[in-house]
Structure 1
Amino acid sequence: MKKTITMLSALTAVTLSAQVSAQVENGTFENWSGNSPDSWTTIDSGISVSQSATSYEGNSAAAITVTTGSQSSTDFRQSVSVTGGENYTFSTWVYHTEGGIRARLYVDGYQNYSEPTLTGQWQQISYSYTPASTGTIEVGLRFYDVSGFDGNELVYVDLFEPTSTTGGGGGTCSNNAGEFALTTDDYGSETSWQITDSGSQVVASGSGYSSNTSYSEDVCLADGDYTLTVSDSYGDGICCSYGNGSYSLTIAGDTLASGGSFGSADVTNFTLGSTGGGSGGSGANLSGYYATADGLTGYALKTELHNIIDNHTTQSYSALWDFYLSYGRDSYYENDGSILDIYSEQPGGADPYIFTAGTDQCGNYSGESDCYNREHGFPRSWFGGAVAPMNTDIHHIFPTDGYVNSKRSSYPYGEVASATFTSANGSKLGSATSGLGYSGTVFEPIDEFKGDIARAYFYMATRYENVIAGWESHSTYGDASLNGTSNQVFENWLLAMLKSWHVQDPVSQKEIDRNEAAYGFQGNRNPFVDHPELVTEIWGN
């Protein structure tokens, strides 16, 4: 199992480490004078700024309302001092509510963009910058309208880094404080390192080192899953042919990684804090419900998880309606008690239509919004039809619009290049993207629910480990998705995509609550909701 450190802090600040830090004043947006964030300036007329409790970390964020499509009137900036020749990584977190605005990072010029289609969730944009000379530069954001902009849109911004609080000088880590120590070999310039989070964002890094020199760099990390990669561009590590280099990463007094003798890269996965949900799990160390799997890794871990969640109580197909009445309602977005349909839910705004629990269950339908039914996320044709217990296993069956469900049919989930059908919330059916590794027709849900689906698939691969190797021949699309084994289970293209979706869309409170309800309904749990890190432990990065 991964090394786990449980910390008391619940804040989720992430501090980038660099050899020299330019300090962005009030980058956490905790300090305000009236309704203006200290140290920040709105240099144009097309945006307004206010304080908001919708924050990525801490108590507040900047709520920026964009009211014009004129891109020259939407800048939000401040000045920072930099040292010539030093490398800086500037980053910030943004939260799109509608998807009609794109945020662009400004670091001495206009740099990287946010992705406006990722609504209802935080995303990070960053840029690595090395000034030619010592002086002062401008940093901040510019907002650009894209298709769908209606003239007024809200974007939340938080944690602009490297940051300090105004007048405080910074330097205090409120999360998991630690140190990356490095001693270089005879070729220090070949060595670099980075720490990436579960979303593959770089949260700490270093490069450009001198030879035979020792360095110590502070790191500050929120609770979560991380990967440390120490690289040597020549491919011979940092010890011991050309000097005696070494490295170590220490968090809260515990050494999580160390070494020096490797090839091109030395990679260590680690977890900080508790990442599970529900009462069945107990932090990142497996105990209680999962106790017999503690200490196992790889497919041996998967097999023991199968033994734990096997033989659940099989429910009737009609009992799924009753489950949806009690546990399939929207208590997370509009919070209106309507059926939470993953094919129509709009996380960042009003739903295009709603389903009344019980009253609007299918039934017949002729178009979208007519009724909701029971969507087998893992198509039942793949396991041979209405076969128990798979056919009624609530862990992979979701309430969805009946018409959209019929459009999805038994096609694999995937990422769409050219859509032939798009649902009201943006779920798409169409030809797969060229980089997916599969060239057929796929169905792509919106980003908000991709992780939910991925974890349902990992559950199916584990719960039915004893029979799933034989499912490959049941259908054409099952054959394209399953590889005929009981260990890896999925074809390489699908496994890679599911792992990506699992990382990009972390476990939500909705999933935690649903997993708890499913445990009461049929007597078993989804381990990958309780312990998301198990995906990597079994199938790797």
Structure 2
Amino acid sequence: MKHRKNHRFSIKTAVLIGLVCPTVSAEINNGSFENWQQNTPSNWSTIDTGITLSQVSSPVKDGQSAASVAVKTATQGNTDLRQTVSVTGGQSYTFSTWVYHTEGNVKARLYVDGYRGYSNENQTGQWQQITYQYTASSSKNIEVGLRFYDTSGFDGSEVVYVDHFTPSDSTTTPPPPPPPTTCQQNTVQFKLVTDNYASETSWELKNKQGQTVKNGSGYANTTTYTESLCLADDTYTFIISDSYGDGICCSQGNGSYELTLNNQVLVSGGQFSNQEQKQFTLGNDGGDGGGQDPTGYYASAAGLSGFALKSQLHTIIKDHNNRGYSALWSFIDQYERDSHFEKDNTVLDRYSEKPNSADTVNFTAVGDQCGSYRVEGDCYNREHSFPKSWFGGKVEPMNSDVHHIFASDGFVNAKRNSYPFGEVGSASYTSSNGSKLGSASGINYSGTVFEPIDQFKGDVARIYFYMATRYENVVAGWQNKSSYGNDVLNGTANVVFEPWVVALLKRWHQQDPVDDVERARNQAAYEYQGNRNPYVDHPEFVEKIW
């Protein structure tokens, strides 16, 4: 444990960034933060330690750089970024600036001769403008800038990017950068979010011959870096290191890394010790249909459709590395964390997760494993979304196939039992996030069904299409293994499901498209057991087959 990282601010800290010398007009000097000296923007100065500034090249709103403002105070006093300008009595001025929130637990307030409007702290991952129209009552010097306020959820350290204060001194803004050179190969996007000790982090990217083609180090704390990498078709190894030995997530900040091609995750992570290595291959798209295939994984399926496509996909994804049922706990610990909704690193449970509000139920990885349970929230276990009784019980590799097994509340999992998924008319039970058990309605099935919330219906549909494909060689024999399995399966190896099930799954697949949560989990499953879900990578395959 890095004891040196465990300091906390216990007093109200005043932070003032002021102009070294007053300007002679209402124009703000170095308003776009292009000029820096020793990690300090020219014409600005910090006089306290509650916030720290650093220059970043991404994200930027104007020019080639912006200011990264790391807010460190546990309670804000005068966490101000200001500059003194001269105004003329009777004249009106439009002052504005752009801010970029990363976590959403700090808000910025515009200061123009007094405190004015706030930013929207919930608008994260994008630039937003704060503007105020000011009329000078007399000719005088006034202060213009920002103050930062913590909100609920502030953990004592958060980055806000600031750029393009106006009206600015045009002499401090350099000419625009030359247009980027077009990449004629693969444009891979690299994103690195550093933890509280970024100086310990370094990375390199090696090709198949072991040559280093890209690398990076010397980063600022709690900062997001993005870079476009132009890479030729090849097999690459991404190596990330932490000199202290505790990775970049999650005990000392929520660091992470990700490489993507056309929004398809190639490798990602953040939880490791001294070093982590992950491999990916860049090749041609063999899917012939608009989905993403950055690795050439589906090349042999190019041009196929119908059940011929399904059979070829079976050939591609069969024979995965079965890790066993016990190993699923470690998969959940490493990959089934909430890094998309509350981003609080708790276990992501699809039966209690509330995508648009605070969760009622939260589980700590490992510590809250089931165990016995009496009510929702007692513990989490391993849910076979495709019930194991349907394929005959603890039969491998189905029993341990991570593509259809995810973390879920033990109590709610027991309520779901082995009932089919469907749409509920009259609910006999409803979980904290709105998942329901009850009588089916409007789906041409009259039994009891379990209905997940809309956010995860497409995930379920694509899991079922995966099961129909991965186990094409044995699925026809599952129909009579259980009564509920008989209601869902039709005893064939091609269509696999009863008509009401096919119609329901296709509708859910369309209504809830593939999202980042599902893409990340598909990549994690691939790294874990060596095969992918084709319907996450290529959603269009569903219509081509069914």
Q: TM-score, normalised on structure 2?
A: 0.49
Q: Which has the higher contact order (CA 8 A, sep 6+)?
A: 1
Q: TM-score, normalised on structure 1?
A: 0.49
Q: Which structure has the bigger radius of gyration?
A: 2
